[in-house]
Amino acid sequence: MIRIEIDEQSGFCTGVIKAVKAAEENLGKEDSLHSLGEIVHNAEEVGRLWEKGLKPIDYEEFNKLHNATVLIRAHGEPPETFRHAEDNNIRLIDATCPIVLKLQKQIREQAEEFGEDRGSILIFGKSDHPEVRALVGQTKGKARVVRGPEDLDKIDIHPPLALFSQTTMNTLEYTRFQQIIKEYMREHGRDPERELVIYHSICGQVSSRDSLIREFAAKFELVFFVSGKNSSNGKALFEACKEVNKHAFFISTPEGSDKISLKDVASIGICGATSSPMWLLSAVKDRLSARLNITKS
Ligand code: SF4
């Protein structure tokens, strides 16, 4: 009989679990509950919580809000958000992930140590990512966001330098970038050994997923990778699956699996991103079982 297995290492990371739990605990207690931005990069989970009363709002809406309750998601927020809430009688439920909070503190302390005119803080990440905006906010806007060598020429780098990474970046790419910046410094007569501090701030739950998911995906004839289309972690992990299994398919809903033929397939693996809920992976399994007339044991 065909084997269908869900990857037990998949599903939400602890930061997202905490944020969803905070939302569920407060829904029902409040007349209305907003989240500043979508609570997770997954439309199905956002839809499930929407049904229960959690309404995502953007910054424009947040800036017009008074006397309300707003949930801060795992990515965290810059200090201005907390100031605005205080000035407008907005109660915040702060579900910032503890790992992100620790990183915010490190960046803030590094910025304070550098002071006004000494040193530069660089953040390896995506400038439009909410976690990165919150990190830049810890430095009063002074940190610069970098992704590749092209960004180094655009910014004014005054050693000493402190390099941090967004928690969800790819470890290999961060290591490569560290080499690039060291080389760049040497070319400009600087000594990276003395003038560059590197913080290893990629989340362990993200970095370990890559190898775990490769191991899982390699075991099956066919793999369904379940993720929201706007999840950067999802894109990276799907690439990892594809590298070890050319029959890996990206889907966002159980129905997405319908167009893939299951003919003569002996084993199917189902896995997902750190933003993909386990219930969605189970729903994919149920859909496949129904197509194959497999009854639940
Ligand atoms: S990926 Fe890591 S740092 Fe980011 S929310 Fe999840 S647990 Fe926290």
- Residue-wise pLDDT tens digits, 86-104: 999 999 999 999 999 999 9
Q: Which residue's entry shows tokens 């309750």?
A: 69
| Residue 88 placed within a domain | yes
The closest alpha carbon to 224, from 295, 137, 149, 289, belongs to: 289
139 and 174 co-located in one domain: yes
DSSP of 154-200: HS---SSEEEEE-TTS-HHHHHHHHHHHHHHHHHTT--HHHHEEE--
List the residue whose alpha carbon is closest to atom 8 of ligand 1: 15
Quick: pLDDT tens for 19-39. Answer: 999 999 999 887 789 999 999
Q: Is the per-residue pLDDT at 297 higher than 60?
A: no
148 and 92 co-located in one domain: no
Q: Is 168 in the pocket of ligand 1 (CB under 6 A)?
A: yes
* Tokens coding 220: 């099956």
CB burial string 109-134: b at 16+ within 10 A, e below: ebbeebeeeebbbbbbbbeebbbbbb
CATH number at residue 158: 3.40.1010.20
Active site residues: 131
3-state secondary structure of 217: helix
Q: 91 - beta bridge partners?
A: 69
175 and 210 co-located in one domain: no
State the greatest distance between any 2 C-alpha atoms of the chain, in Å, as a whole number: 68
Q: 271 - beta bridge partners?
A: 225
Q: Is 272 in the pocket of ligand 1 (CB under 6 A)?
A: no
Cβ-Cβ contacts under 8 Å for 8 (sequence gap 6 or more): none
Q: Which residue's entry shows tokens 């760049």?
A: 184
pLDDT for res 147: 93
| Residue 296 placed within a domain | no
| Residue 297 placed within a domain | no
Contact present, 169 and 202 (Cβ < 8 Å): yes
Residue 249 Cα, ligand 1 centroid: separation in angstroms?
25
49 and 110 co-located in one domain: no
List the residue whose alpha carbon is closest to atom 7 of ligand 1: 15
82 and 56 co-located in one domain: yes
Quick: pLDDT tens for 228-249. Answer: 998 878 988 999 999 999 999 9
List the residue whose alpha carbon is closest to atom 2 of ligand 1: 203
Contact present, 238 and 276 (Cβ < 8 Å): no
The closest alpha carbon to 74, from 93, 61, 49, belongs to: 93
| Residue 103 placed within a domain | yes
| Alpha-carbon span 95 to 56, nearest angstrom | 14
Looking at the 3D structure of the chain, how many domains does it have? Answer: 3
* Tokens coding 264: 């003569």
Instruction: Look at the pTM and tell me if it is higher than 0.85.
Output: yes
116 or 65, higher pLDDT: 65
pLDDT for res 296: 60
Quick: pLDDT tens for 119-174. Answer: 999 999 999 999 999 999 999 999 999 999 999 887 777 789 999 999 989 888 99
pLDDT band per the 50, 70, 90 thresholds, residue 73: very high
Q: Which atom of ligand 1 is nearest to the CA of 233?
A: 1
| Residue 32 placed within a domain | yes
pLDDT for res 116: 84
Cis peptide before 79 (omega within 30 of 0): no
| Alpha-carbon span 63 to 65, nearest angstrom | 6
Cis peptide before 160 (omega within 30 of 0): yes
pLDDT for res 78: 98
In the chain, the amino acid numbered 180 is I
How close are the terminal C-alpha atoms of the chain, in Å?
Answer: 13
Residue 11 Cα, ligand 1 centroid: separation in angstroms?
12
pLDDT for res 165: 97
92 and 156 co-located in one domain: no
197 and 217 co-located in one domain: no
Residue 226: DSSP 8-state? E
The closest alpha carbon to 268, from 280, 253, 257, belongs to: 257
For 262, the domain range is 3-11+205-291
pLDDT band per the 50, 70, 90 thresholds, residue 295: low
In the chain, the amino acid numbered 138 is Q
Strand 120-124 to strand 144-146: parallel, antiparallel, or no bridges (unpaired)? parallel
